[in-house]
A and B are shown apart, each in its own frame.
Chain A
Amino acid sequence: MVTYIIRRLIWAVAMLAIVSMITFGIFFLVPRLAGATSESLAARYVGRTAGAEQIKVAAERLGFNDPLIVQYGRFAKGIVAGAEYDYGPASEHCPAPCLGYSFITQLPVWPDLIGRLPVTFSLALGAAVIWLITGVATGVLSALRRGSVFDRAAMTVALAGVSLPIFFTGIVSLVVFSYGRPLAITAPGGTYTPFFANPALWAYGMILPWITLAFLYAAGYARLTRSGMLETMNEDYIRTARAKGLPERVVVTKHGLRGALTPIVTIFGLDVGLLMGGAVLTESTFSLPGIGKYAIDAITNQDLPKVIGVTLLTAFFVVLANLVVDLLYAVVDPRVRLA
């Protein structure tokens, strides 16, 4: 078990290194393959009014004339150990993990990202709890009453859930349920109150985004759980459990659902990990100032350091989620522990 954990940890670190290389490649190597020069890369970093000479100086200072491997080394060192920016007369220290400065606000990217994490965490974790409970419960009931009216209705709703985009369900829910509307259950869109400031207001403001996001995922989980349960309920060990005289409720939960749990745990970990890097559509539909909204704004403004920052952060969460899932796997399925 210990060697399993160590192997997974090494794998996660290696994965992060590869992810940083790919990210670097996307933003600095691929443009060159497409014909970009050091100057045109540097032009992204200086104002539109800069002349050719200024761009040339900037390219030299930003190191775009160095070999690629040196450039990557500098990029990686900035993240791990921090970086020094030399502005000629003055120089500035950017503490690790340094992701550079926003073109627009001139502020370092990392503190910005950290400041937005609570919003994204609130959204992702709240929605995850809702979709896990409703999705799995619906899936189990559907599987047990296969072909019933409940099953058909639930699966139709689930199909709608996976098919309808957030910007549709989100806006419809805002029109129907938000403040000032006939069935008002929540604040006007875009009201985020930090949890530690006022938990009640926090939940009040988040309820619609949670439900909208959870609806999308719950639909998928209901379908996954249903098919998993249909499979495990046909297993021999379910017959054994019944033959022991266990009440049906125990057969379904302790034996059936337990057997169907492995793929759900896997997908759940990966979904939550991905959402930590920002639920782009939900956050922009509800104007929540989270990582996803940050990413959209960065892309719209062509704010390169921000885009790189969000990319790396999202990748980090996905790798972390993979690690957690692998470890959970060993907890859920004892057969993995030997491997």
Chain B
Amino acid sequence: MSFLELKDLRIHFPTDDGLVKSVDGLSFQLERGRTLGIVGESGSGKSVTSLGILGLHKGGRARISGEIWLDDEELVSASADHVRTLRGKKMAMIFQDPLSAMHPYYTVGAQIIEAYRIHNKVSKAVARKHAIDMLGRVGIPQPERRVDSYPHEFSGGMRQRAMIAMALSCDPELLIADEPTTALDVTVQAQILDLMRDLQQEFNSALIIITHDLGVVAELADDILVMYGGKCIEYGTATDIFERPEHPYTWGLLGSMPRLDRDRGDRLIPIKGTPPSLINVPPGCAFHPRCVYEDRTGGAARTDVPELLETEGGHLVRCHLSPEERRVIWENEIKPNLESV
């Protein structure tokens, strides 16, 4: 069994307006030392998935079913208190906006020390030394001085480094980064991505990067999972997704990605429409109201939910178009547009 394995995970939230199916039957596997990128628009269920793996929906209103196996331990049925002891130690998370994700009233050092001491029975002095050590490892200059600074005294990039130091303080084997660079300047983004890659190799941890930015996953991910309306609609290696994407939604994401090698005259091609409501998911293929090729499925897209099927070598796609049709569309209609230089 893989280090991390999700089997048919469903996370539903009952609300006054109806049942919100944030995650609806998600399965994937991840090994140590590998990086998985989860890509999707806002509301596609990617953040809910990551919080679900950490067990942060337990005890709330969420209805969770399916299985989450982490290192041969099943977490959905485990007690909330047991999952809490794994949280921060075995699996840790880096959040999007490090300013709001760190407590404004405690020093950066105090927050790292706290994270370390929950899981390690050490004195404050030892934990402090460890915190300074961690801050130094994530590239914060003068860590023995900055350990006593407050989050608001750090720049955005420094804060994200501190956040990473906090997440890594207990050597987690699974690290989940939720939009780790979205709130940062582009120049700082590159530094943070480099840092994460280096640290992952050093710790040999499994890494999940959650983002809407294909540039970020292109940089880091070994495998990519594209989510839409709470479901996986395409899964493959980074090469599969960037060289031979098969789902019309993935084509749309690639088409709306700004690239330096493109003519300035060329317009980006946005995906028309808006992400689906997770309460009234469109019948059939959730993407069909926005899909340009919907009429080529003979109406199946409007009535039947497509299966997630393997096309070749572990590349999975959830689409009613036949593999041949998809290949033809990709080669003739999509690829030339993306490569028009």
Contacts and interface: CB of A to CB of B under 8 A. Distances in A.
B218 interface: no
Contacts of B107: 334
B87 A237 contact: no
B101 A236 contact: yes
Q: Which of A240, A247, A258, A333 neighbours the largest number of chain B CB atoms within 10 Å of its CB?
A: A240
A332 interface: yes
A255 interface: yes
B101 A239 contact: yes
B152 interface: yes
A245 B104 contact: no
Given A334-B150, A335-B150, A335-B152, A243 B104 contact: no
A127 B105 CA distance: 29
B207 to A, nearest CB: 16
A245 B84 CA distance: 5
The secondary structure that dominates the A interface is helix
Given A237-B100, A239-B95, A244 B105 contact: no
A244 B88 contact: yes
A33 B93 CA distance: 69
Contact of A245 (B97, B102, B118, B150): B118
A334 B84 CA distance: 30
Nearest to B153: A338
A201 B73 CA distance: 63
A243 B152 contact: no
A255 B84 contact: no
A61 interface: no
Contact of B105 (A236, A239, A246, A332): A332
Contacts of A236: 95, 97, 100-101
A181 B208 CA distance: 70
B88 A245 contact: yes
A242 B59 CA distance: 13
A242 B102 CA distance: 12
A259 B115 contact: no
B100 A243 contact: no
B86 interface: yes
A242 B101 CA distance: 11
A171 interface: no
A244 to B, nearest CB: 4
A241 interface: yes
Interface string A288-313: 00000000000000000000000000
B105 A334 contact: yes
A255 B118 CA distance: 15
B92 A243 contact: yes
B170 to A, nearest CB: 8
The secondary structure that dominates the B interface is mixed
B54 interface: yes
A240 B94 CA distance: 8
Q: Which of B56, B88, B89 neighbours the largest number of chain A CB atoms within 10 Å of its CB?
A: B88
B103 A242 contact: no
A235 B100 contact: yes
Contact of B101 (A237, A245, A332, A334): A237
A243 B95 CA distance: 10
A242 B86 CA distance: 11
A255 to B, nearest CB: 6
B29 to A, nearest CB: 23
Given A239-B95, A335-B150, A246 B118 contact: yes
Contacts of A259: 103-105
A54 B51 CA distance: 86
A333 B105 contact: yes
A245 B95 contact: no
Given A237-B102, A239-B56, A244 B118 contact: yes
B103 A255 contact: yes
Contacts of A243: 54, 56, 87-88, 92-93, 95
A245 B58 CA distance: 13
A120 to B, nearest CB: 34
Contacts of A241: 103
Contacts of A335: 104, 150, 152
Given A236-B95, A236-B100, A242-B56, A247 B105 contact: no
A238 to B, nearest CB: 9
B166 interface: yes
A241 B56 CA distance: 11
Contacts of B114: 244, 246
Interface string B146-174: 00001010000000000000100000000
19 contacts: A236-B101, A237-B101, A237-B102, A242-B56, A243-B56, A243-B87, A243-B93, A244-B88, A245-B85, A245-B86, A245-B118, A245-B119, A247-B84, A255-B103, A258-B103, A333-B104, A333-B105, A334-B150, A335-B104
Given A243-B92, A244-B115, A246-B114, 12 more contacts: A237-B100, A237-B102, A237-B104, A240-B101, A240-B102, A244-B87, A246-B118, A258-B105, A259-B104, A332-B105, A334-B104, A335-B104
The list of the 7 closest CB pairs from A to B, nearest first, reads A245-B88, A245-B87, A236-B100, A244-B88, A237-B103, A244-B115, A236-B101
Interface of A: 235-237, 239-247, 255, 258-259, 332-335
